[in-house]
Amino acid sequence: MKILRHQGSLEATDELYSLASGPDRRVSLYHSCVVNGIRFHTKDRDDRHTTQNSGVLVLGDHYEDMIDFYGVLLNVVVLDYIFNNQVVLFKCEWFDTDPNKKRLQDDGVLRCINVDNKWYEEDPYVLASQAQQIFYVNDPKLGSSWKVVQKVLHRHIFDVPEQTTTNDSENDNEDPTIEEAYQENDSTDIVWSVNQDCNVLQYQRADGDPSYIDIENVVDHGRRFENDDLTAFINDQDEEDETLVDYCSEDNENSDEEDHDSDSDSDS
């Protein structure tokens, strides 16, 4: 690979060259990791919390048979390569589920495994991208040494199958019912309908000619009306109470009559 890189070959990509050069001797260890939108925690971290995120399931080869390997996550190892490349590994502890040892029971509904025995202790590492998250539940029927394996569909995570691009010759051999998804920019199947309201009120008379009014006369009349109202308001404050005037006049007349009577008595 180094020779191809030195020769400028296109096969010696940065990724292959970084793998061929080997990782840095210094590794990074973590207690948690997010892979494909799923958060994994180590078993030590789960033991201190009420949640469980350390269950791991990996499909692997066991004596030329593909079986499911069940375990727990012990550590997250990150290897650094040149060109800022990284490889994330899971160090796991695998439970012995050898079919010949009857340490796995499956009744078609629930799958239970024995967690007392371990295997593949010399091969604990897997790629983080290969791991699936599972949960272990205590089995009250078989005892504390057995766990019920629970697979769940995580929220907000969807496994959408990807379709690769093929040649036309290969497409001829495919199922004709499988078609590529297609969406039009505009929808032509929408039926538009308009409801006409026949009970519309008409505010303009149609049985006569319109009358035109000079706007200046309307403005002058409005101003004159405002001035008259203002004058009436001011004059209303200056008017005297006629009842009070009449009352004062009667008092004066009565006082004059009393004076006249007193003068007549004195003369007599």
Q: Is residue 244 part of a domain?
A: yes
Which range of residues forms the domain containing residue 241? Answer: 215-267
- Domain end marker among 124, 150, 176: 150
- Give pLDDT tens digits for 21-34: 899 999 999 999 99
Higher pLDDT, 222 or 159: 159
- Domain end marker among 150, 180, 199: 150
Provide the pLDDT confidence category of residue 268 given band limits of 50, 70 and 90.
Answer: very low
Provide the pLDDT confidence category of residue 219 given band limits of 50, 70 and 90.
Answer: low
**How is the chain classified by DSSP, letter by letter?**
-HHHHHHT-TTS-HHHHHHHH---S--EEESEEEETTEEEE-HHHHHTSS----EEEEEEEETTEEEEEEEEEEEEEEEE-GGG-EEEEEEEEEE---GGGT-EEE-SS-EEEE-S-EE-TT--EEEGGG-EE-EEEEETTTEEEEEEEE--PPTT---PPP-----HHHHTTS-TT-------SS-----------S-----S-SSS------HHHHHHHHHHHHHHHHHHHHHHHH---HHHHHHHHHHHHHHHHHHHHHHHHHH-
Q: Is residue 129 part of a domain?
A: yes
Q: Is residue 195 part of a domain?
A: no
* pLDDT reading at 253 higher than 90: no
Same domain, 129 and 47: yes
- Domain end marker among 150, 178, 204: 150
- Give pLDDT tens digits for 113-168: 999 999 999 999 999 999 999 999 999 888 889 999 998 887 766 666 666 655 55
Strands 132-133 and 55-62: antiparallel
Percentage of the chain modeled with pLDDT above 70: 62
Same domain, 139 and 223: no
Q: Is residue 156 part of a domain?
A: no
Q: Is residue 183 part of a domain?
A: no
- Give pLDDT tens digits for 57-81: 999 998 888 999 999 999 999 999 9
Q: Is residue 203 part of a domain?
A: no
Q: Which of 51-55, 152-156, 219-223, 242-246 has the highest mean pLDDT?
A: 51-55
- Give pLDDT tens digits for 2-21: 788 777 888 888 888 888 88
Structural domain total, the chain: 2
Q: Is residue 122 part of a domain?
A: yes
Higher pLDDT, 79 or 230: 79
Q: Is residue 181 part of a domain?
A: no
Same domain, 225 and 141: no
Higher pLDDT, 194 or 46: 46
